[in-house]
Structure 1
């Protein structure tokens, strides 16, 4: 997202390798995050293949697979993990600036780099998929306009058209604008405060408020007005789903507040990680619409993802969980996760249309393998041919957002 994998920078000159950039993640932490992205992307693919084979019923629920415990694994939603990771990574520099007085980059530079990171591939995919499904003009022009402007998340009818999973990208883009609006304000407000703990408290209170507002919205919509959970625009919009971003922002504030302190030993870290995974599994297992956990699934899941990220990234010694996340094949999937997120659904639907997927629910396991075998190479090609070349445009501006001078004048003797 950015649910989204970050492109690794070009190999710097030897002098530049002596000290990492301020606020940059350590190599081990970046690998862990790539591993999380890889797992989340693979889970997203499996989830949507499951949706293809186990269609929604009239109540908007999937019929369970034969084994409810396996069904809980398949139906585990990871979109909140994308939201939490994106908010954590992008808020960290603002949190450090607000709490410890570090500098922040201009908003125009932040938005420029986010735009070149996500827009080229997204716009290309939307145009290609929309054109194949609308061979004659004007076609469903409203669907095209809404996708190109990231407003389809507010349309009950078209929210899942063209590229179904990209409703979440609409929220991601909105978060960017919220962050560049609130981040500098928080920094300026905190610079007037003398005590560090007061600055931490102010930042934490802001994140808590942003987390609580969606809880109130969901409670009013569900319990006061009785809005059904299939009203997608009500429960998938930013007013209901911003809690995931708020949780990630809170993790960034906690990380900045702790600094180098508060790192966990191997035993407690593994215990917390397993507790978070168990909680996420329980939320997925206890998925009946009448349950409290179903109504507040996404805010609760966001909090558990924060716990899992904290216990994974804030460790003194690498655990078995860390080593699993940093397996080469998994971090490689993490690198191409954005392309995999964008292309896997069109690939799956084309395979189905061509009759290359097995029929019937018994063919579901084989369908997963076929879709992955087609979607992963497609995503890898997309990354190297579209994503990576587009991100090279980031070099056009320096860290202050000014055009970079690629041809400096020769030094005078």
Structure 2
């Protein structure tokens, strides 16, 4: 590295920060899409004549009803699997599982528990209330209860899957590292990691296929199609992306033109899945694994590219990266905010007031999420400092590290 800090390592660090900003921008887009999607669901009318979209255009309806939860799964799995993939393929060490779980816990639990307790108490003002619902949400097991899965915090069913993934990763990650250490050839280590990711992706697909076509389980049986046994494929796809990027290293980077083409085609493919998403179609049944693969293509086209891609500057826009920064708080609070505004009569009536409702919910939910980030999320993240890199507890008063 040169004295001015412009050497190869400085350039790599700058590139890494740029990619982190771009991922944060994508999170912002996905968070915005999630809010619009749930307002769209709230304004969708179901009656004896069938369902009625809050917008007239079927093309726009397909865009508004596009689900992006698999994107969050893919990004989360990619980022969290990278260290294990590097250790398994190129050697090195990983942080203890207890440290990983501790950091994940201080990242998601304080805000989640606060939101669950606040929302549950407002909807159960008299004791004893629905204690089963509260217990299941606090233990992340509500995804296994068909009646309670969308209670209290509807979108939070996905956090049950996140927690299941964390537990799976701290078990499978070190196992993959140990399995790869005796292998002398790098290609063999890559094959072991890629094969494991492929297996984890295929098993949920088989589960869904057997449930749908073997036993005819209706798509409204939430515990069958929303549990980790059905949705783990999104995480497996993200794990596969981590293995792929580590395996390639600096090789095979895309030029700006093909990278942009893939970045356009991938979300276009997800849009087509949404357009063709009717219960009788295979694209409906396998929407989530297919969408996960397309999100992998999109992320690969953004992360594994060489040269300057001009449109990436849009992802680094301050307003978008801000939404990405507060995306977890926005994800947690936007539904309670929307429902409370609706109860207070502050949202226009169905279905013609949809776009006004989107604007009002965003105008309230985004500042609320920003305050939530700085008041709850950021302070809780400082708990990271309670443990060092080896997972041992820091003794700040003695100036030492203790077990």
Please state if 1:239 is matched with 2:229: yes
Could you give the per-residue CA deviations for residues 66-122 of structure 1, whole angstroms, max 9, x where no partner exists? Answer: 111001110110000000000000000000000000210000000000000000000
Aligned residue runs from structure 1 range 13-412, under 5 A:
26-55=16-45, 63=53, 65-406=55-396
2: CA distance, partners of 1:311 / 1:240: 27
Could you give the per-residue CA deviations for residues 122-169 of structure 1, whole angstroms, max 9, x where no partner exists? Answer: 000000000000001110000000000000001111100000000000
CA change 1:231–1:34 in 2 (3 A) is same
Residue 23 of structure 1 contacts residue 93 of structure 1 at CA under 8 Å; is this kept in 2? no
2: CA distance, partners of 1:177 / 1:91: 12
2: CA distance, partners of 1:73 / 1:57: 23
3-state DSSP of counterpart to 1:26: helix
Q: Where in structure 1 are there 5+ consecutive unaligned residues?
A: 1-14
1: CA distance, partners of 2:371 / 2:52: 33
1: CA distance, partners of 2:49 / 2:394: 55
TM-score by length of 2: 0.94
Q: Where in structure 2 are there 5+ consecutive unaligned residues?
A: none
**1:8 alignment counterpart:** none
Could you give the per-residue CA deviations for residues 357-378 of structure 1, whole angstroms, max 9, x where no partner exists? Answer: 0002110000000000000000
Taking only aligned residues, the RMSD between alpha carbons, in angstroms, comes to: 2.1
Give the deviation of 1:345 after TM superposition. Answer: 0.3
Residue 53 of structure 2 contacts residue 61 of structure 2 at CA under 8 Å; is this kept in 1? no
CA change 1:120–1:59 in 2 (3 A) is farther
Residue 45 of structure 2 contacts residue 351 of structure 2 at CA under 8 Å; is this kept in 1? no
Residue 51 of structure 1 contacts residue 62 of structure 1 at CA under 8 Å; is this kept in 2? no
3-state DSSP of counterpart to 2:250: coil
1: CA distance, partners of 2:14 / 2:81: 12
3-state DSSP of counterpart to 1:150: coil
2: CA distance, partners of 1:335 / 1:343: 14
2: CA distance, partners of 1:99 / 1:146: 38
Give the paired residue count.
393
